[in-house]
Structure 1
């Protein structure tokens, strides 16, 4: 995909692409390099729609659609998930191209509307099964640790969740709010399992057509993460809507493992995983993670699998830790015991940061500055050296981590923020971070010097008051 192709996409098209309302003749390209980076171009619309949602929520409900700390964490996850693409093409495209170049059976015409619509259906069908497998897996041969029975069929009761795939997807479900920022809470790990569900399309569909629909399928799912849209009438029968997707994000028992659709809800209706919204949905994981630190949001379940793997005795039991459900343990059913899943009462209080409003404003300012450097890095990546790219990515990750530490009120938060501000000044002065507004270069240095002094004093006070070992 080519970021430089963005001049070919009009404002009208950029709006319509958010809702998968593009036409084949507008989005058909002969080679992959001609395909615009639609996701990158959608960034201004992500922000605009989130602000619109905020205004509508205030008008309709008298309150914002979620919490500031949760929104920052969701956007942080989105930033985190996109950083690897600065250095290489995504594995979803790399594997697809490999299959296409070596194993394709037929070559459908890239400029045919029939190819375009077939790819729309194929990508959405692949997404449904990837999404479902990230929650569940139907194994043809099943090992039961208790009685060694082999099952060669797969009735509905044996559709099981796969722990290692859930480790990637759980990031998206970790928010206890449900708003447009939640859509950006993406996993950096997820693409390393999703590619296999799209690869069969490479037997006959050109990569340039696939790359378009892979992006549109993702962009469509942004607007359905909201509570300000209730019911869309007859459209609810065909397409995935906010009401359907709210159910998918719920931890109520009637919501678990339902509504996996990307664009078309018909897949859920066909394969028996559809559930209508019929009571207030409580969002998030069944066991909330209670943190805003980005590494924990991304990798906490992978760490859980690792520690459980080594703590569990027996080879087959260790194997089961990876490929059975997260609640499994020796002597338990594959998905664990249902009574161990907490009941939803409707009185759950989402985890929130207890830091002062002033500190939250500070976090927002630093986050906004980081986003500006992030956007500039993607815009200029072709002209930047690998060293500059690497240093910028390290600074972005350091900023996300430090903000997470501040919101979590970690003991070493002040020390980390002091170090981060020092790193900023160093990179700024040697040219790896360019002034966003050249005329304000001196003001930037003064601001970060004040931040270093403030957090440095806080750090020394914390270190002085900490008990000696």
Structure 2
């Protein structure tokens, strides 16, 4: 059962089908880990196409335009979550390979249909327990909360991922490493993630009999809800059968209100990623007693001294359904500006992954730092920070400097010349805004 190599391009049919986990084993079986394609990276174009289709459909059918601030925050989190993979192989695969190389007890054939199916079930079962623990163990929740921080529910929400989460999930897949080859595991780890993209939508209501077996948009909407009936439910990745088996399944009932029980009210990308880590740090030091301090880390997010492991449900804030999501009123022109510059950032981001094997370490580092600078600056603009104009002027200047010395290039024809014009204009506009307060500041009267 031969598969195509990691260098082969996906056909359009394969690209579409991988988003729904319907590729055949003979298309996705590889003898070595090096042959396994980076399906997640190849999915970027399909993410964008599906996002655009959802935005158009939602606007035309339900009259719901995408909130640019929330959408860009989610997409920024997606970019951040993938940046470590530019330099390092994913920790889940790396630790899995280590266990396989040193402790495997048997070796299932990599080209077997039954190995493929068993791994499909094993990865999804491992994901269920990781996902459940991510909601029940505070230190793991510190990573996973990023994904739940959006108060909207659409395909951009699927990409609101944590760069910390993968450093906790690897241990839940270790048992498979005793007998399942890493190449088979790496395929299903990616497909399990890709499947969960399309279920983040409100455009699909009910899938009939499939609701009994599969994780669907209806089931996953409940998981993202902060209504009392939604809490701690529907942890499955591809299959919902694990929730039905272990008592965590809840069907969709009343309208779901999305987000965290205690909204974080920010669009800054690093606040979205790290705010709960800061909360744990402060709570750890302010909580008396050694075992209480350990409980802050390893019990549920709602735990406190004298409370059960997962906290008290009656202490959760009341949800009426009338809550307005956190928002910053931005002009249409600023929304367009940020959208254009995020698209330009995606060109740099994609080329970074495609060319990472031939780029120097200095170039890799400078591109990663530029991406981090851009996400930070866009976060400042989204929140109307006082220093946003200064930071954006600096960012645009850095872009032109890096591009001049060939540290920022893409494979898009004529984009370099276009960017020179765009970023030069941006420097002038934001520079004027940055110095305007100094110009208009009234001089103090001399005594």
Q: How far is 1:69 from its partner?
A: 1.2
Q: Which residue does the alignment assign to 1:46?
A: 47
The TM-score, its normalising length taken from structure 2, stands at: 0.95
CA contact (8 A) 1:6 1:41 kept: no
Give the Cα separation in 1 of the matches to 2:131 and 2:292: 26
**1:435 to partner: Cα distance:** 5.6
Please report how far the alpha carbon of residue 448 of structure 1 lies from its aligned counterpart in structure 2 after TM superposition. 1.3
* Structure-1 separation of matches of 2:295 and 2:272: 24
Q: 1:9 and 1:436 mapped to 2: Cα distance?
A: 19
2:351–2:410 CA contact under 8 A, matched in 1: no
Asked whether the equivalents of residues 6 and 37 of structure 1 are also in contact (C-alpha less than 8 Å), the reply is no
SS in 2 for 1:166: helix
Q: Which moved more, 1:68-77 or 1:274-283?
A: 68-77
Give the match for residue 408 of structure 1: 383
User: 3-state DSSP class of the match of 2:197?
Assistant: helix
In the alignment, what sits opposite 1:425?
A: 400
Deviation at 1:4, TM superposition (A): 7.8
| Partner Cα separation in structure 1 for residue 442 and residue 216 of structure 2 | 54
- 1:32 maps to 2:7: no
Q: Tell me the secondary structure at the aligned position of residue 425 of structure 1.
A: helix
Structure 1's 332 and 388: CA in aligned 2 closer, same or farther, altered over 3 A? same
| 1:393 corresponding residue in structure 2 | 368
1:108 match: 108
In structure 2, how many angstroms separate the alpha carbons of the residues matched to 1:462 and 1:364?
26
- The alignment status of 1:117 with 2:117, answered yes or no, reads yes
CA contact (8 A) 1:167 1:299 kept: yes
Structure 1 residues 440, 200: closer, same or farther in 2, change over 3 A? Answer: closer
Aligned equivalents of 1:435, 1:106: Cα separation in 2? 45
Q: 1:288 to 1:421 in 2, by over 3 A?
A: same
Within 5 A, what are the aligned runs for 1:208-227?
208-227=183-202
1:149 is matched with which residue?
none
Q: Distance in 1 between matches of 2:259 and 2:227?
A: 10
The aligned residue for residue 333 of structure 2 is 358
1:230 aligns with 2:231: no
- Residues 345-399 of structure 1: per-residue CA shift (max 9 Å, x gap): 0101111221211111111111111011101111111110111011001101111
Classify the secondary structure of the residue corresponding to 2:229: coil
Moved more, 425-434 or 50-59: 50-59
Equivalent position of 1:98 in the other structure: 98
Query: 2:178 aligned with 1:195, yes or no?
Result: no
Partner of 1:222, secondary structure, is coil
Distance verdict in 2 for CA 1:181–1:4, change over 3 Å: farther
CA distance in 1, matches of 2:436, 2:347: 32
Per-residue deviation at 1:24?
1.0
CA RMSD of aligned residues (A): 1.9
Counterpart CA distance in 2 for 1:35 and 1:342 is 46
* TM superposition shift of 1:36: 0.9
Contact 1:245 1:259 in 2 (8 A): yes
How does 1:213-362 map onto structure 2 within 5 Å? 213-362=188-337
Any idea what SS the aligned residue of 2:83 has?
helix
1:181 aligns with 2:156: yes
Structure 1 window deviating more from structure 2 (104-113 vs 322-331): it is 322-331
Query: 178-187 or 458-467: which moved more?
Result: 458-467
Q: Shift of the alpha carbon at 1:437?
A: 4.7
- Distance, in Å, in 2 between the alignment partners of 1:14 and 1:447 is 33
Tell me the CA shift for residue 95 of structure 1: 0.4
SS of aligned partner of 2:359? coil
Secondary structure at the aligned position of 2:250 is classed as coil
Alpha carbons of structure 1 residues 439 and 75: separation in structure 2 relative to 1, 3 Å: closer
**SS of structure 2 residue aligned to 1:167:** helix
Count of matched residue positions in the alignment of Structure 1 and Structure 2: 441
CA drift of 1:461 comes to 2.8
Q: What residue number does 1:131 align with?
A: 131
Give the gaps of 5 or more residues in structure 2.
none
Residues 63 and 390 (structure 1 numbering): CA distance in 2 closer, same or farther, change over 3 Å? same
Return the alpha-carbon distance in structure 2 between the equivalents of residues 452 and 355 of structure 1. Answer: 20
| Distance of 1:446 and 1:51 partners within structure 2 | 27
* CA shift in 2, pair 1:176/1:345, >3 Å: same
Cα deviation for residue 342 of structure 1 reads 1.0
State how far apart, in whole Å, the 1-side matches of 2:14 and 2:386 are: 48
Counterpart Cα distance in 2 of 1:459 and 1:446:
20
Distance 1:329 1:45, change over 3 A: same
Say if 1:356 and 1:203 are closer, same or farther in 2 by CA, change over 3 A: same
Contact 1:183 1:222 in 2 (8 A): yes
Q: Assess, with a 3 A threshold, how the Cα gap between structure 1 residues 289 and 465 changes in structure 2: closer, same or farther.
A: farther
Aligned residue number for residue 157 of structure 1: none
CA distance in 2 between partners of 1:186 and 1:78 (Å):
5
SS state of the match for residue 427, structure 1? helix
Q: What displacement does 1:11 show?
A: 1.5
